[in-house]
């Protein structure tokens, strides 16, 4: 029913699932939440911290086997969440970035206090290197809340924007809430994803988010944001 392009269910590779058992419990919850396509996006920081690709592959295959053995109809695919730092430039230029399911799409995140110029540089570099950038949890970046910032980036670049399901479900502060509401009313946002890290505090909430989105912004847009229309 839903597609979730941002999750940390593969255990032992980042700050998501810590154990094999937690990974399986997260997959159970994803299926219960109506997710039938789920992308694994562990944190990757090129040039700063080594990412163990072999470990990731082995643990991802355990997730695939678990879903198959349980008879789940969920489709799992690999990706990564790239934390942009200047050290990442070389990896982007040399096309050594992990994409979503071997496509051109790259999920990229920034430090919360990143300057708009830094964000624009990274997006420009990704595009020039043949990637399609998806900015993860856009609601976290202070620079995007300044009037005209998102519009400026959209006018100059082919960007896709992701907002976390938790942001839709939980009440936001007045200013942040107004800005996020404006992004959604203007159909600026392209994806809602759960960014799940565990089974309790940062888990799958796609059903709740979809219900709220449908009520506030219409069924069609809610379906598009959550992949329910695909």
CATH of the domain at 107: 3.20.20.140
The DSSP call for residue 162 is: E
Rounded to two decimals, the pTM is 0.96
**Neighbour-count burial for 167-199, b at 16+ CB within 10 Å, e otherwise:** bbeeeeeeeeeebbeebbeeebbbbbbbbbbbb
For residue 216 the two structure tokens come to 């506030």
Query: What does the pLDDT profile of the chain (230 residues) look like in tens digits?
Result: 999 999 999 999 999 999 999 999 999 999 999 999 999 999 999 888 889 999 999 999 999 999 999 999 999 999 999 999 989 999 998 888 899 998 999 999 999 999 999 999 999 999 999 999 999 999 999 999 999 999 999 999 999 999 999 999 999 998 899 999 999 999 999 999 999 999 999 999 999 999 999 999 999 999 999 999 65
- The string of DSSP letters for 163-224 reads EEHHHHHSPPPHHHHHHHHHHHHTT---EEE--B-SSSSS---HHHHHHHHHHHH-HHHHHH
Beta strand residue intervals within the chain, DSSP E: 2-4, 35-40, 43-44, 75-78, 81-83, 105-109, 132-135, 160-164, 191-193
How many separate domains does the chain show?
Answer: 1
Neighbouring-strand partners of residue 163: 192
Q: What is the number of other CB atoms lying within 10 angstroms of the CB of residue 32? A: 10
| Residue 109 to residue 134: CA distance in whole angstroms | 9
How far, CA to CA in Å, does 155 sit from each of 52, 105, 146, 150, 152? 37, 19, 16, 9, 5
Q: What is the number of other CB atoms lying within 10 angstroms of the CB of residue 3? A: 20
- Domain range for 77 is 2-226
């Amino acid at each position: 029913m839903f597609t979730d392009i941002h999750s940390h269910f593969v255990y032992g590779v980042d700050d998501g699932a810590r154990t094999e058992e937690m990974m399986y419990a997260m997959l159970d919850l994803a299926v219960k939440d109506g997710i039938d396509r789920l992308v694994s996006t562990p944190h990757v920081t090129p040039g700063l911290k080594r990412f163990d690709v072999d470990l990731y592959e082995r643990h991802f295959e355990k997730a695939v086997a678990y879903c198959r053995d349980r008879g789940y109809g969920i489709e799992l695919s690999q990706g990564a969440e790239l934390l942009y730092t200047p050290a990442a430039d070389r990896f982007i230029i040399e096309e050594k970035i992990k994409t979503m399911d071997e496509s051109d799409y790259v999920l990229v995140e920034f430090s919360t206090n990143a300057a708009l110029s830094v964000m624009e540089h990274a997006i420009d570099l990704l595009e020039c290197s043949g990637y399609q950038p998806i900015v993860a949890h856009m609601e976290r970046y202070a620079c995007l809340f300044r009037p005209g910032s998102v519009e400026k980036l959209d006018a100059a670049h082919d960007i896709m924007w992701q907002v976390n399901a938790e942001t839709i479900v939980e009440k936001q502060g007045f200013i942040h809430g107004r800005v996020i509401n404006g992004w959604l009313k203007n159909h600026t946002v392209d994806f809602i994803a759960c960014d799940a890290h565990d089974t309790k505090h940062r888990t799958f909430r796609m059903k709740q988010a979809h219900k709220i989105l449908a009520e506030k912004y219409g069924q069609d847009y809610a379906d598009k944001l959550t992949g329910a229309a695909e």
